[in-house]
Amino acid sequence: MNMRKTFLLSVIGMLLFSACQKYKDEKPVEKPIEDQQPDDRLGCITGKITIFNTGGTTDAYVQLLASKNGGAIYSKRLGTNGDYTIDNVSEGVYYFKVYKKNFVDTLFHETIRILPKAQNGGDCRSMDWAISKLPPHLYVVGVNTENVIHVLDFGESDERCYFQLYNNSETTYSWSTDFDEVRQTKRWLGSMNKVTGSLKPNETESISITIDRSGLEIGENTAKFLIDSDKGGGWELTISATCLRDHWGW
């Protein structure tokens, strides 16, 4: 009787071991998810958007579209200074759009192609764009602002100031100034880092001007010069600087 029990227990044990081994052998092997592309197979786009005269970049978005009238495939809200980056973009040709409710709904004038990082040296596609509702013209605007300016104020202590030239038209502007001529009579004017140049459509360029405060007279000092272009419509800019005391500190 005991031998029969032992025999039955042995058979049951062998059957259980065989079933466990079979389950182990047939357990499915986890496969990698094929549709998860590695980063180097995807692209990205980065840059800065400047919006003039339309309330700035607050609550504005950059969008990538497959067609002019299609919905946004990718969308990114602009940072406070207009910077943006859209990551993990599939390779392709897109329409580039800047959107701000009740202000801007503008497509870039041509499509853009985004390549995988592996084909672009590991970098993102760069795309800067300036947008305005101002009439086509060559404008003088403050640096990092949307405001046109007519006076460059050095105040009581500054010796260098900056402004930007902005071409919001669809044609290239060649520009020049009479700054060097004005400097012959206004000896306290220093230098202008660039007095001629050209601006492509929707392009901006930063310009700096210096003054020599030792040449200022007590009170407010002003000088006016003209920024002109080959399309006409010159822009007069006034330089203002204040001196509260003479060179001996009186």
pTM: 0.49
Q: CA angle, corner 117, sides to 114 and 122, nearest 5? A: 130
Q: Which secondary-structure segment (H or E) carries 15? A: helix 2-26
**Reported confidence tier of residue 50, pLDDT bands at 50, 70, 90:** confident
Q: What is the DSSP string of 207-231?
A: EEEEE-GGGPPSEEEEEEEEEEETT
Q: How far apart are CA 7 and CA 1, in angstroms?
A: 10
146: left (phi over 0), alpha (psi -120 to 50) or beta: alpha
CB 43 within 8 A of CB 118: no
1 pLDDT exceeds 60? no
pLDDT of residue 22: 47
CB 199 within 8 A of CB 165: yes
pLDDT of residue 81: 84
- What mean pLDDT comes out for the span 103-112? 83
Structure-model confidence comparison of residues 108 and 19, the more confident one: 108
8 pLDDT exceeds 70? no
- pLDDT tens-digit series, residues 30-41: 334 344 444 678
To the nearest 10°, report the CA torsion of 193, 216, 142, 138.
-60
* % of the chain beyond a pLDDT of 70: 75
pLDDT of residue 121: 87
Q: Which two tokens stand for residue 72?
A: 């946004």
**Reported confidence tier of residue 132, pLDDT bands at 50, 70, 90:** low
- pLDDT tens-digit series, residues 59-99: 889 999 999 888 899 999 998 888 999 999 999 999 999 98
Q: Which two tokens stand for residue 152?
A: 């460059």
- What mean pLDDT comes out for the span 4-30? 50
Three-state SS letters, 119-188: HCCCCCEECCEEEECCCCCEEEECCCCCCECCEEECCCCCCEEEEEEEECCCCCEEEEECHHHHHCCCCC
pLDDT of residue 29: 38
pLDDT of residue 6: 53
**Reported confidence tier of residue 160, pLDDT bands at 50, 70, 90:** very high
Q: How many CA atoms lie within 13 A of 187 on its CB side?
A: 4
Structure-model confidence comparison of residues 23 and 197, the more confident one: 197
Provide φ and ψ at 10, rounded to 5°. -65, -45
Q: Which two tokens stand for residue 28?
A: 């499915």
Q: How many CA atoms lie within 13 A of 54 on its CB side?
A: 23
- What mean pLDDT comes out for the span 148-152? 89
